[in-house]
Amino acid sequence: MKKFNFDFFKIIISAVIFAISFIFKDNNILHLTLLAISYILVSYEMYIHALKNILKGEIFDENFLMIIATIGAFYIGEYEEALMVMLLFNLGEYLSDKAVDNSRESITKLMDLRSDTINLKIDDDIKNINIKDAKLNDVFIVKPGEKIGLDGIVIEGSGNIDTSSLTGESIPKYVKKDMNVLSGTTALDSVLTIKATSTYETSTATKIIELIENSEDKKASSEKFITRFCKIYTPIVVICAILLTLVPLMLGYSLNDWLYKSLVFLVTSCPCALIISVPLSFFSGIGRASKDGILIKGGTELENLSKIKTLVFDKTGTITKGNFAVQKMNSVDIAKEELLELAAYGEYYSNHPIAKAIIKKYDKDIEKERISDFKEISGKGISVKIDKNDILLGNSLLLTDNNINVPKVNEIGTAIYIARNQKYLGYIVIADEIKEEAFNLVKSLKKEGVNKVIMLSGDNKEIVEKVSEKLEFNDCYYEMLPIDKVNKVTDLKKENFTAFVGDGINDAPVMKIADLGISMGGVGSDAAIEASSIVLMTDNLDKISKAIRISKKTNNIVRFNIAFALIIKFIFLLLGTLGYSKIWYAVIADVGVTLLLVLNSLRLIINKNKLG
């Protein structure tokens, strides 16, 4: 900030000296001396930068163009105009830098997740320590209004936390004992005691900040194009400016007139607007996405989001919530509560996720003395005695093997059939619940230009096909191993630009092979951040459509900036060549276009809700 203040002060002093010089216009020596002082004050840094770039082999930059233009103006006696050009250019650079700096600062604030200290609990004392000194399993206190410094588990207290800085969701999240909390969130209304499950270096907040900071190193193809374009464009412009002077001179025209026109040509052609606005557009897009809880690793990934034509989803934990729960109970000649009780007692000694889901639904104490002769039958279910009654719990095969007829169940999920003393009592459906927003997923994605939505799963054919049909997916593939998913995505890539959405841990290989990898709700894992190009802070599927919209909006802004800058430059180049433009007009045009395009690039940050 001090540098910018000095730059502005330097411009003001130079402008004041320039104004004073007109008082002494009749005194030619004093007038020229004041102009020279003003010029040196406002331009000496440009000469230094130009010299450094020349030594590095980078000759044709904006500094070089302005220096040549002003020296040429001095040569033909346009002293005041030469100084006006330098003042206007420096003022434009200052304003552009200020706008860019402010935008970066605002984006950084959006991701202001770090806490410098934590309140470490040592026995009955609280000690405020630097967060970098905290260790795994340290216990710390977070007071209302304070940021949670490290990932951890709540061991005491309950209350609401603000997760908007991570997820983009404005509704507070209620947390209580034994629940996980992430660094970067804020305690709102109560004191929480938390046991650290990360260090400063491995915390979610640090990973996210590093990801945002590193995003600038990964340039989009548009940015790379502008870099290459400017390296070719600027030397061509200089050659054209030289020819614009020499050719008319050889034909007998006035040197001063055509030299002036060539100087206007040089100043007008300065590519500042493109150099500044295009990278800023991508940075603004990444910042906007971050605010909405979408972490994008770089400009390339942001640009590529709009190219997706085939979107492939993992099922468990992505389309579904990733946890088994009782979805339905159907009983025959017995109350549903009694059916659930028999199932809970029968499954008590099993470690299967289905057993845990039934016991969780029952949610009562189990009297173990009522259970005897527990036996698991591989691939079929359980045989057990409850109150000396013979109970069978399992799939249809288990009951039919015991000569018990069962109805066919047409439900999404796994049906657990139950019989007592050879009599069929009903079934309980256990399923991984589909996320609410998944029902509108295909429609919203197709609206954003995605042609195919496909599901890959290791689950059985019946469940996968039912989920796919219910959600109107274009296709689905079942009973797939990780290598099968890799092979399928490899094939799909040959047809269209293909992205894969998964949990970021189990699906790391297929994420790597896809054109674009998106991890759902896996922000706390290194595997998610490493394997995927895009990390969604929550497992909300709606974020994918929003990410594509942000990509499209960013690309539209970039295309507009490039087209607008080139059209305006072409107009002023034509006017300059025809003698209808002055050097300082060209500077104003260049500065004006740069500022307009900077503001246009910031629209994604400024207009929070407008992504149409």
Annotated catalytic residues are 314
d(CA 314, CA 336): 34
| Inter-helix orientation angle 221-250/542-577, to 10° | 0
By the 10 Å C-beta count (0-12 exposed, 13-18 middle, 19+ buried), 546 is classed as buried
Q: Would strands 371-377 and 381-386 be described as parallel, antiparallel, or unpaired? A: antiparallel
Q: Residue 480: how many CB atoms within 10 A of its CB?
A: 19
d(CA 420, CA 428): 15
DSSP 189: S
Sheet containing 159-162: order of strands: 173-175, 159-162, 186-187
Identify the CA nearest to 439 among candidates 320, 611, 585.
Answer: 320
| Residue matched to tokens 């639904």 | 361
Q: Residue 48: how many CB atoms within 10 A of its CB?
A: 11
Q: How many residues does the chain have?
A: 612
d(CA 200, CA 135): 8
Phi and psi angles of residue 110, each rounded to the nearest 5 degrees, phi first: -60, -35
- Long-range contacts formed by 97-102: CB under 8 A, 24+ apart: 97/4, 97/7, 98/4, 99/595, 99/598, 99/599, 99/602, 100/276, 100/280, 100/598, 101/4
DSSP 435: P
DSSP 147: B
| Residue 428: strand pairing partners | 329, 416
